[in-house]
Amino acid sequence: MQSAEVNRTAIGVVRKPHGVRGGLKVTLYSIDLDTLQNLKQFFVNTGNKWEELSLRSCQGYDDFAILAFHEISDRTEADTYREREIFAYQSELPQLADDEDLLEDLVGCIVVDEDNKTIGTVVEVLSPASHDILVVQEGDAERMIPLVDDWVLEVDLDAKRIQVNSVEEL
């Protein structure tokens, strides 16, 4: 998710504390470890204010990182960050290629099938492992659509519209 007032972009979400010195296990969005290590400022929205964090250390694994910040000193304090997104200034992130989009830009897009029938609206993008998943909601119904070429036919961010293959196979 992007914070429009200061151009912040989410780079990951805290899953749980790691260790006794305040480390955080973070599921990373589409950011590589080298870029992450070179960022100067991080932010977490605590609900009533933005808290600024500075990176103390970073270790990367398959789809997550263990991050330690100077401002977080123990496990109890680290636990207060559970399920909160970590943000960085978008201007500090690498520029996207013309055919690339930020995952958070897909939230709010209308999803239609091959016949242009509305399936619902993207409410979340999950990044569990091998590929991202669109969580699409229509009323009380919720569907998960793999964000892969076999399923997604077209993404038009200007029109806030995503066309997918028939959802009857889902």
The domains found in the chain, sorted by start residue, are 2-92 (2.40.30.60), 103-169 (2.30.30.240)
pLDDT tens sequence for the chain (170 residues):
444 446 888 888 899 999 999 999 998 877 778 888 888 889 998 888 899 999 999 998 766 899 999 999 999 999 999 999 999 988 888 776 666 667 778 889 999 999 999 999 999 887 766 678 889 999 999 999 988 888 899 998 889 999 998 766 54
Angstrom distances, CA of residue 23 to CA of 110, 128, 162: 38, 21, 38
pLDDT at 110: 95
Which residue has tokens 């990951």? 12
- Exposure on the CB side of residue 102, measured as CA atoms within 13 A: 17
Tokens of 23: 């480390």
